[in-house]
Chains A and B, each alone.
Chain A
């Protein structure tokens, strides 16, 4: 159920998804549409030519008033950050000492640095290893986090067209309110800055800096909002491209394998979302919700029900997982068992789960981006043993033992 949404609204979403989502349109008559579109354009151009002399005057006048922000030319002027929001102090950046990010958030200082020289020597010879993020005494719950990643791994190669890739995230304490995610990751050599556009309307520009011959950005995500878009600008200020990562409140954005678009390119994937809801059998009255989103990042699912019942997973486009006959994962600690299956082959219309106690259950099935998804929650003591996917004519498409 969506926040502040009535039962009627939730039910309406379900019915609309079931009725309209089940409609399987044929292929788009692409050539006919283009021909019709060309005819409309020609008609429009004839009308336009009649009004041309008027347009020249207005156009000149308008161009004088246009703000000096042209897409694809220079990074846009960003709104001044509101109080309690993220600010960046690029003057404090210190490449020689690995300080790749610095500023304030909610009035407290933040900084992100890479170790230099590497403090941990367990990586392959010659690699630099990210060992820790700078602790900040002014920040609630001082220890921000630590981790390591091999920046020589293919994940960090930042191949074209991915301008930013392989960001690793470190969270502040779970008791912080809000929780901040601090990310650091490599960018392509020609990236000068990355602007994060947050769902609350704020935008923050993060400069790229160099560390041991590679360029990185350090950026922040706040769990009370999401990053809707990352736009990369070149060292000359020209827009290079953008990505719309999977981003849900409470989870760090997933930029891995997301589709990058050139500055004026329209996303090839229409964003879509379906919601599974139910009530736990063994905990009467406890509802659960699992959200599934599809977009340029592939298909991602997440749930935040309780400490045992939470997590997220993504199936990037073209990934090995996507090519499995039955792709699925368990979220949470398995008690209760939270399973999400899909995206499935378009011919699959039904999935039956066999549980460890021998019970068989037909899983709730919804269509997203033309492919089926299933999600369900089984009470404590029950777990998934096998899955069988069926086509509409009843034949078995695939069977897979789970454990």
Chain B
């Protein structure tokens, strides 16, 4: 990469870092994972910088890379799940209490399907339009509408959000 391109990428990286970490936190519910995901996203953006920088909407392109990286995280985990010969020991019960410290919002978001969660975050946190959300998700506007509608219905029924709002 030429020096000028790298300089431009570095500006982009510094500017987008907080947004990507926040979005990744909403997707994963885990701050450490969120920073890893943001790093992976930006590394992939670097590798495709000539494409990203020429894209009509570099942010939508970057969000798409982030969402793909997040989906890849699930795929890798599934592949890693090999049948075991014996019943595994039950996992320790979150000794750090990290799950308890999650906000009701994050807990409710984690109850959504990954695609619904991504739709909600892009529409209502990143303030993307339905068309921009569709571009970032690589789907149709109709799918964004139906995913949004299902996600909102599910959030309305979330006992966590109901608890949180009652406090």
Residues on A close to B: CB < 8 A?
A: 6, 8-9, 12-13, 15-17, 19-21, 23-30, 32-34, 36-41, 44, 71, 264-273, 370
Given A36-B40, A37-B42, CB of A19 within 8 Å of CB of B106: yes
B22/A12 in contact, CB under 8 A? no
Which residue from A8, A25, A32, A265 sits with its C-beta under 8 Å from B17? A25
Cβ B59 vs Cβ A271 within 8 A:
yes
**What 0/1 pattern do residues 50 to 67 of B give for CB contact below 8 A with A?**
001110001100000000
Instruction: Determine if B46 and A33 form an interchain contact, defined as CB atoms under 8 angstroms apart.
Output: yes
Q: Are A20 and B26 in contact (CB under 8 A)?
A: yes
CB of A4 to closest CB in B, whole Å: 11
14 A-B interface contacts by CB (under 8 A): A13-B124, A20-B22, A25-B38, A27-B17, A28-B13, A28-B42, A33-B43, A71-B54, A264-B53, A265-B53, A266-B8, A266-B58, A268-B15, A269-B15
In the complex, what distance in Å separates the CA atom of A39 from the CA atom of B39?
13
Is residue B73 contacting chain A, with contact meaning CB distance below 8 A? no
Main secondary structure of the interface of B (DSSP, over half): helix
Q: Which of A12, A19, A33, A39 contacts B42 (CB 8 A)?
A: A33
A32 and B13 alpha carbons, distance in the complex (Å): 12
Q: How far is the CA of A34 from the CA of B10 in the complex (A)?
A: 8
Q: Which residue of B lies closest to A5 (CB)?
A: B124
Select from chain A the residue with minimum beta-carbon distance to B46: A37
A32 to B46, CA, bound (A): 12
Nearest CB of chain B from residue A343's CB, rounded to whole Å: 14
| Set A13, A19, A37, A71: member contacting B43, Cβ < 8 A | A37
Instruction: Select one of B11, B18, B105 contacting A25, CB under 8 A.
Output: B18
Q: A16-B26, A28-B17, A266-B12 are in contact. List 15 more A-B contacts (CB 8 A).
A: A8-B155, A9-B152, A15-B105, A20-B22, A20-B125, A28-B14, A29-B39, A36-B43, A37-B44, A38-B47, A39-B43, A40-B44, A268-B12, A270-B15, A270-B16
**With the chains together, A44 CA to B51 CA distance in Å?**
14
B19 at the interface (CB under 8 A from A): yes
In the bound complex, what is the Cα–Cα distance between A44 and B30 (angstroms)? 30
- Nearest to A21 among chain B residues (CB) is B22
